Amino acid sequence: MRGRVAGSSEAQTGRGEHVAVFYAHDRELIETVGQFLLDGLQDGVAIAMATRGHRRALDAWLECAGVDVPGSIRARRYIEVDAADTLARVMVEGWPDPAGFWQAIMPLMDEAASSGRPVRIFGELVSLLWESGQVGAAIDVEALWNELGAQHPFDLICGNAAESASLAEHSDSFAMLCSAHTRTVAEQ
C-alpha cells in the first residue's frame, strides 16, 4: 500500500492528527510530506522542522508543485526550522526538557496560529533522537508533542526512517512510538 497521508480520501488529516510516516527512501518521505505541506499551504500555515537536506528537497518539491517558496516564507505561511538546532534547544543533559520544548516550539505555534488558519507541521526531532540511539528520549518528545496537541490544534507528521525504527532490540519502544500517534503509515 502506498501511504499517502494527505490528499487521498482514505488518509486525509484533520485537526489533531499525529501521524508517523515510516519510509525506506527519502523520495517517499518528500512526496508524502510535500503533499501534506502543500495541502496545508492552500488554507493555512505549514512548518517544516526538518534536517537541512529534507528542507531543501521539500522546497524543490513544493516549487515543482507551483508554490512560491521564498514568497511563502516571507509571508510566514511556510516556516522552515532546522530540526537539529531545535533539538539542541530542547535537550538538557541528554534528555528532553519540557520547558525547553515549550520555549522552542511555542513561538512557532503562536506565530502560525495567529493567522487563525489551520497549522500543519512536519517534524524530525524524534527521528534524530531515535537514529542516535536515544530511543527513550524520542518517545518522551512524542509525549511532549501530544501534550502540545491537546492544547493547540495542529496536524503533525513525524518522519522516521523505516530501517532505524524497526530494529529488533527496540521492539517494545517501537510499539510505544507507534502508539503515541493517531495513525502510522508505512511507505513501500
- Give the tens place of pLDDT for each residue, 55-80: 999 999 999 999 999 999 999 999 99
Whole-angstrom distance, CA of residue 96 vs CA of residue 52: 21
Length of the chain in residues, anyone? Answer: 188
Task: Give the residue from 87, 113, 121 showing the smallest Cα distance to 6.
Answer: 121
How does the average pLDDT of the chain come out, rounded?
84
Give the residues across from 160 on adjacent strands. Answer: 22
Whether 103 is in a domain gets the answer: yes
What's the number of domains the chain is made of? 1
CATH number for position 179: 3.40.50.300
Unique residue bearing C-alpha cell 500517534: 181
Whether 179 is in a domain gets the answer: yes
**Structural domain for 107, as ranges:** 18-186
Whole-angstrom distance, CA of residue 17 vs CA of residue 157: 8
Q: What is the pLDDT of residue 182?
A: 62
Q: Report which of residues 16 and 154 the model is more confident about.
A: 154
Whether 115 is in a domain gets the answer: yes
- Lowest-pLDDT range of 106-110, 140-144, 173-177: 173-177
Query: pLDDT exceeding 90 applies to what percent of the chain?
Result: 55
Whole-angstrom distance, CA of residue 38 vs CA of residue 78: 10
Whether 114 is in a domain gets the answer: yes
User: What are the pLDDT digits (tens) for 153-177?
Assistant: 899 998 877 665 555 455 666 676 6
Has residue 9 got a pLDDT over 60? no
Has residue 179 got a pLDDT over 70? no
Whether 2 is in a domain gets the answer: no
Q: What is the pLDDT of residue 151?
A: 86
Whether 4 is in a domain gets the answer: no
Give the residues across from 159 on adjacent strands. Answer: 21
Unique residue bearing C-alpha cell 519540557: 98
Whole-angstrom distance, CA of residue 14 vs CA of residue 154: 8
Whether 5 is in a domain gets the answer: no
Whether 136 is in a domain gets the answer: yes
Whole-angstrom distance, CA of residue 124 vs CA of residue 36: 15
